[in-house]
Amino acid sequence: MTATNHRIRRHIFRRHILNLGTLFLLRAFAIISTMLPNPLESCKPTATGSPWVEAFNILNGSIVTCADVMYSGHTVNITLCAMTWHTYSHVVPISTFDPLFAMGGRLTNKLGDAQRLTTAKLLCWVFTFVGYMCIIGSRFHYTLDVFIGMILTVAVFKYHTLFIRSCHLKETWFNSIMMWSEADAEDIIEYRKNLSGVNTSRETALSNRGSQGVEMP
């Protein structure tokens, strides 16, 4: 593994953990504000002590709760893993083996984002949707819990990606922290460089069209 790849993987892992923490913080408020009966009628909660102590017991699986169904935490985990894999697996690939889509043209666009599937990404999403079916089939969550968990995870992930790419445009204390954490992220640096090149090319093209008397959009 090269030093550059090592740094990128470190940034990817930190972004994943930040997104995961954000989503479970939102889930904590959702659980408090939206108390729903568990769809699994046989579910019997075993949490009887202090909420602060039982919160840690939930983490190690020693107790069972039945009211934390909105929204599905398992859905958040598997969707976030899928989004991370889909977004970054071509940036630092474990393998370039791609029997299904290798002849499908360029893997990335001018900004470095993936513009086509790979075999690994397709399999990742197949397993993800199988996971959704297993969660729904277990009857521990409503279908709506899974749907909201999936949509919210994609939205938070997408917003975070856009934010770290553009946080340098406005000076705030939070943006400064994010800029510091992403200071040596090669993928962000490359994206901004490519974006500048694309904008420059577009401005040149529009200028040429204008000088030739062509109406610009």
Say if residue 92 is in the same domain as residue 102.
Answer: yes
Spatial contact of 19 and 39, defined as CB atoms under 8 Å apart? no
| CA 173/CA 18 separation, integer angstroms | 17
| All residues at 6 or more sequence positions from 83 whose CB lies less than 8 Å from its CB, including other chains | 153, 154, 157
Task: Flag whether 214 is in a domain.
Answer: no
Q: Which of helix, strand or coil describes residue 115?
A: coil
Say if residue 108 is in the same domain as residue 41.
Answer: no
Give the model's pLDDT for residue 40.
73
Say if residue 154 is in the same domain as residue 171.
Answer: yes
Say if residue 101 is in the same domain as residue 162.
Answer: yes
Task: Flag whether 216 is in a domain.
Answer: no
Give the model's pLDDT for residue 156.
96
Say if residue 59 is in the same domain as residue 144.
Answer: no
Give the model's pLDDT for residue 23.
95
Say if residue 124 is in the same domain as residue 83.
Answer: yes
| CA 87/CA 79 separation, integer angstroms | 12
Amino acid identity at 157: F
Give the model's pLDDT for residue 176.
92
Amino acid identity at 83: M
Tens-digit pLDDT profile for the chain (217 aa)?
444 566 788 899 999 999 999 999 998 888 888 777 777 777 777 767 776 777 777 767 677 777 777 888 899 999 999 999 999 988 888 877 888 887 877 888 777 788 888 898 999 999 999 999 999 988 888 888 899 999 999 999 999 999 999 888 888 999 999 999 888 888 888 888 888 777 666 656 656 665 555 554 5
For residue 108, the cross-strand partners are 114
What is the domain range of residue 122? 3-33+73-207
- Domain count along the chain: 2
Give the model's pLDDT for residue 216.
47
| All residues at 6 or more sequence positions from 23 whose CB lies less than 8 Å from its CB, including other chains | 76, 80, 152, 153, 156
Give the model's pLDDT for residue 1.
42
Say if residue 62 is in the same domain as residue 130.
Answer: no
Q: Residue written as tokens 């985990």? A: 77
